[in-house]
Amino acid sequence: MAQPGYYPGFSTLGQQKFWDAKTRQVVLDRVGNVPEVRFFSPQEACLLNAVCDRVLPQDDRDESHKIPIVPQIDRRLFENSHDGYQYEDMPPDREAYQLGLRAIEKIARHRYGCGFLEIGPQEQDEILRLLHDGKPSAANDIWKRVPVHRFWMLLVSDCTDAYYSHPWAWDEIGFGGPAYPRAYMRLERGEAETWEVTEKRYDWKAPENSVSGEFEPVSGQLEHLGSPGQGGTH
């Protein structure tokens, strides 16, 4: 399979000799040393893997270029690392994940009569859309302890953190990556550096049977949804 995105042949890793040594070490470690699963049980890890495959689908990537998501989430939870705060109405992240996974499994059984792993990707998407819409059809006891919109945002942002911190994702979206000590010189009009690739657009479409290709606001009272822990921007 070709590299996804509009920047064919762009490789940030191909520029690694221009990076400073510490950055090179950190990024190469991320690519080369995928951590073992230590926090989740094998069953939980398997279920989370299926969930992450739909929250951040990678069907258009070949097996050797799929970006590991679950190992990154597992490491964060194993090390008990977080963004420095916990919502008053949320349990700690570890507990939230274990409860959220149980709830997803319950919804699958309630809706389809079998587990999340046994249903097809479209049905899996439908279940995740219920979380996105804030209307889970089962496991209300769990959602009383873990507000569904907060769990959804925790899950999605952990998945995007893992995916978009990976140099293969930078290649996909045309992000130049580390730039010290070399610098950027072409700052305006979206111009590419000599070592970057110019965008070549084509008509990209999500797979027809997926429900996650459209944009709908996340559920809940919007004002409550602010600040899910994004890196500060100003």
Partner 1 sequence: MKSPLLGEFHPPGGKPHMLGSIQRIETPMHRFSEGEEVDYAIVGVGVGAGGGVLLQRLARAGFRVIGFDAGPFWDTERDWVSDEKGAHNLYWNDLRITGGKHPLAFGANNCGKGVGGGTVHWASFTPRLHPSDFRTHSTDGVGVDWPISYSDLKPYYELMELELPVSGPSYFPWGDPHGYPYGPHPMGGVGDALIRGCTKLGIGVSAGGPVAILNGSRGDRPHCIYRGFCIQGCKVGAKASTLITHVPDAIENGAEIRPNCMVSRIHIGRDRRVTGISYFDPEGRERFQKAKAVVVAGYSIETPRLLLNSACPGFENGLANSSDCVGRYLMAQAGNVVLGRFEELVRMYKAPPAHALTEEFYETDPKRGFARGFAIQTVGPLPMAFARQMMTAKGAWGWGMRSVMMDYNHWASFGFLGEILPHAENRVQLAEEKDRLGIPIAKATFTLHDNDQKLIEYGKNKTMEVMWAAGATEVVQEVRYAHLVGAARMGSDPETSVVDQFGRTHDIANLFICDGSIMPTQGSANPGLTIMALAARTADYLIREGNEVFTSHKPNSDKPAMRRDLSPPDTRGHGMPRI
* 53-112 binders of partner 1 (CB under 8 A): 54-57, 81-89
Q: Taking the complex as a whole, how short is the minimal distance between the CB of residue 231 and partner 1, in angstroms?
A: 4
How far apart CA 58 and CA 94 sit, in angstroms, is 25
Q: Which is nearer to partner 1, 45 or 55 (CB)?
A: 55
- Of 156, 168, 171, 203, the residue at the interface with partner 1 (CB under 8 A) is 156
User: Does the protein bind partner 1 through residue 10 (CB under 8 A)?
Assistant: no
Q: Please list every residue from 211 through 230 that binds partner 1, using CB under 8 A.
A: 211-218, 222-230
Tell me the residue type at 7: Y
Rounded Cα gap, residues 202 and 206, in angstroms? 13
Place of tokens 């209300």: 140
Residue 42 vs 232, nearer CB to partner 1: 232
Instruction: Tell me the CB-side half-sphere exposure of residue 224, using CA atoms within 13 A.
Output: 12
In the complex with partner 1, the residue whose CB is nearer, 117 or 218, is 218
Per-residue binding string, partner 1, 11-40, x by CB under 8 A, is ---x-xxxxxxxx--xx--x----------
Q: How far apart are CA 59 and CA 175, in angstroms?
A: 21
Respond yes or no on whether the N-terminal peptide bond of residue 181 is cis (omega within 30° of 0): yes
**Hey, what are 14's tokens?**
């191909």
Of 162-181, which residues contact partner 1 (CB under 8 A)? 163-165, 169-170, 172-176, 178-181
